């Protein structure tokens, strides 16, 4: 009951000095707004990064990458074998902790053409069926390569929707979804039959924007609208995922790589190239994610044997990437937290200042209250409640401001990952503001509680 009264009196006092109170609260408002908005932006960032991580094949994907041989082995450099199918075979037979191995043999300077149209894939690779699970692909139309295709090195390919968009037209432009199964495209001049097309991959954010664009489409004039807002940015993880051309690995070998190595000039003047058996990538997935370190050690041991002890490779886990993401997030949180803490500190000082001014103005009122039977505790509670009320009003305004801020950010840069406002930072912000209010009000409240009623009454 007393508390309610104290809050009501506090609110009245705040209302009586609207502008003063508003200015006082500004620090808290800014602090809370930056805390909540920052957290929302970081959350958006986090979501985006996790989405692209999944787009790149999930957290349990381990990549074996080429690496310069270490300094002490530099004299062996020209004997370094690189990654070959021999590694894949060795791993398949010996790496018990590995569940899935996906060899990839890439095509350099890859271009696909059809009619007058040209597309530059994110990658053109010869793969096996393992790639589907490795890179988390789903064939939505048609089929993946069969064992027959693999065995006979058939000229077939499975493409991402991005390649379809470039060569046949995107659904948004054409008005209908074209499924080019059975069509023939030219990959670096060689004809290939499209036998399958993957699902379309996009981030939450792009999906929302695309749907929005779809809705607004009726209102807008048709025509020039290429490469705007909702399209994935070139080179982001989703763009890369949608712009692949996969062919059977044996096809890659027979058609492109068996004569792509070092060139040799024959006696009759003709030039013949050596085969290039190197794989661009060996991706693996481990059997047990908890034993990833052991699995990596095992893989490394096996590869050291197949590579004649020359360490020309590096094993790269998504863990490193997750670590990077977490580090970025921590940094962003930290800087947001520091800004918020400083604002809250400034806000707290402002509140303390205003509460000191307020009790000096009300010294007679306080004396009167004491004459009417208020105890020191009553006065203390009154001032403290006013200070906390001020801080909490500021926090409330700050949360509202954060919503506004996030709207503005979203409007300003729609291609970024959209910020997500969560309740945790709000609760933290409110709790902090409450604490700031208590700290800021404590000293003035003690001062007011100790006013001698007589001095307070005689005070003019």
Partner 1 sequence: MPLVELRDIHKVYHLGGEEIRALDGVSLDINEGDFCSIIGPSGSGKSTLMHILGCLDSPTSGTLKLDGMEIQNATPRQLATIRNQKIGFVFQFFNLLPKLNVLQNVELPMVYSGLGGRERRERAMEALRHVELENRSKHRPSQLSGGQQQRVAIARALVNNPRIIFADEPTGNLDSHTGELILDMFRGFHREGRTIILVTHDPEIAALTSHKIEIRDGKIAANLDRTLAGLDRPIPAAV
Task: Give me the least distance between CB of 458 and partner 1, in Å please.
Answer: 8
State the Cα–Cα distance between residues 366 and 312, nearest whole angstrom: 81
Residues 150 and 103 sit within 8 Å (Cβ to Cβ): no
The nearer residue to partner 1, 5 or 214, going by C-beta atoms, is: 5
The nearer residue to partner 1, 335 or 377, going by C-beta atoms, is: 377
Task: Give me the least distance between CB of 4 and partner 1, in Å please.
Answer: 8
Task: Give me the least distance between CB of 350 and partner 1, in Å please.
Answer: 21
The nearer residue to partner 1, 243 or 382, going by C-beta atoms, is: 382
The nearer residue to partner 1, 208 or 364, going by C-beta atoms, is: 364
Task: Give me the least distance between CB of 15 and partner 1, in Å please.
Answer: 8
Task: Give me the least distance between CB of 362 and partner 1, in Å please.
Answer: 9
The nearer residue to partner 1, 376 or 414, going by C-beta atoms, is: 376
The nearer residue to partner 1, 9 or 434, going by C-beta atoms, is: 9
Task: Give me the least distance between CB of 5 and partner 1, in Å please.
Answer: 5
The nearer residue to partner 1, 15 or 235, going by C-beta atoms, is: 15
Task: Give me the least distance between CB of 14 and partner 1, in Å please.
Answer: 10
The nearer residue to partner 1, 1 or 411, going by C-beta atoms, is: 1
The nearer residue to partner 1, 12 or 234, going by C-beta atoms, is: 12
Which long-range contacts (C-beta less than 8 Å, at least 24 apart) are formed by 424-428? 424/39, 425/35, 425/36, 425/38, 425/39, 425/40, 426/36, 426/399, 428/35
Task: Give me the least distance between CB of 452 and partner 1, in Å please.
Answer: 8
Task: Give me the least distance between CB of 8 and partner 1, in Å please.
Answer: 8
Beta bridge mates, 282: 64, 103
Contact set with partner 1 (CB under 8 A): 1-2, 5, 9, 12-13, 16, 364-365, 367-378, 453-454, 457
């Amino acid at each position: 009951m007393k508390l309610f009264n104290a809050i009501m009196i506090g609110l009245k006092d705040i209302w009586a000095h609207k502008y003063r109170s508003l200015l006082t609260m500004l620090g808290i408002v800014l602090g809370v707004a930056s805390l909540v908005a920052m957290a929302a932006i970081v959350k958006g960032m986090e979501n985006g990064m996790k989405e692209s991580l999944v787009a790149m094949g999930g957290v349990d994907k381990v990549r074996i990458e080429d690496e310069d041989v270490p300094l002490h082995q530099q004299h062996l450099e020209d004997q370094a074998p690189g990654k070959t199918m021999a590694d894949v075979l060795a791993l398949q037979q010996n790496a018990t902790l590995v569940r899935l191995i996906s060899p990839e043999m890439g095509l350099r300077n890859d271009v696909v053409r059809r009619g007058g149209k040209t597309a530059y894939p994110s990658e053109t690779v010869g793969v096996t069926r393992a790639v589907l699970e490795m890179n988390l692909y789903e064939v939505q139309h048609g089929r993946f390569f069969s064992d027959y295709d693999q065995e006979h090195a058939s000229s077939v390919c499975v493409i991402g929707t991005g390649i379809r968009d470039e060569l046949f037209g995107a659904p948004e432009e054409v008005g209908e979804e074209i499924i080019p199964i059975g069509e023939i495209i030219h990959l670096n001049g060689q004809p290939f039959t499209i036998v399958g097309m993957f699902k379309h991959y996009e981030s939450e954010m792009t999906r929302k924007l695309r749907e929005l664009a779809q809705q607004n489409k009726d209102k807008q004039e048709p025509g020039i609208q290429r490469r705007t807002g909702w399209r994935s940015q070139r080179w982001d993880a989703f763009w890369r995922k949608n712009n692949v051309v996969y062919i059977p690995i044996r096809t890659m070998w027979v058609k492109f790589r068996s004569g792509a190595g070092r060139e040799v000039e024959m006696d009759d003047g003709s030039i013949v190239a050596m085969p290039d058996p190197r794989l661009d990538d060996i991706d693996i997935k481990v059997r047990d994610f908890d034993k990833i370190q052991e699995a990596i050690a095992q893989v490394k041991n096996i590869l050291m044997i197949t590579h004649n002890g020359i360490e020309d490779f590096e094993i790269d886990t998504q863990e490193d990437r997750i670590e990077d993401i977490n580090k970025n997030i921590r940094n962003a949180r930290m800087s947001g937290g520091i800004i918020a803490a400083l604002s809250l500190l400034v806000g707290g000082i402002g509140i303390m200042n205003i509460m000191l001014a307020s009790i000096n103005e009300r010294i007679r009122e306080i004396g009167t209250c004491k004459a009417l039977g208020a105890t020191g505790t009553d006065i203390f509670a009154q001032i403290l409640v006013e200070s906390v009320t001020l801080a909490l009003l500021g926090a409330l305004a700050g949360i509202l401001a954060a919503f506004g801020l996030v709207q503005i950010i979203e409007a300003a840069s729609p291609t970024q990952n959209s910020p997500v406002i969560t309740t945790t930072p709000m609760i933290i912000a409110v709790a902090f503001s409450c604490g700031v209010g208590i700290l800021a009000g404590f000293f003035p409240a003690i001062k007011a509680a100790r006013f001698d009623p007589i001095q307070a009454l005689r005070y003019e």
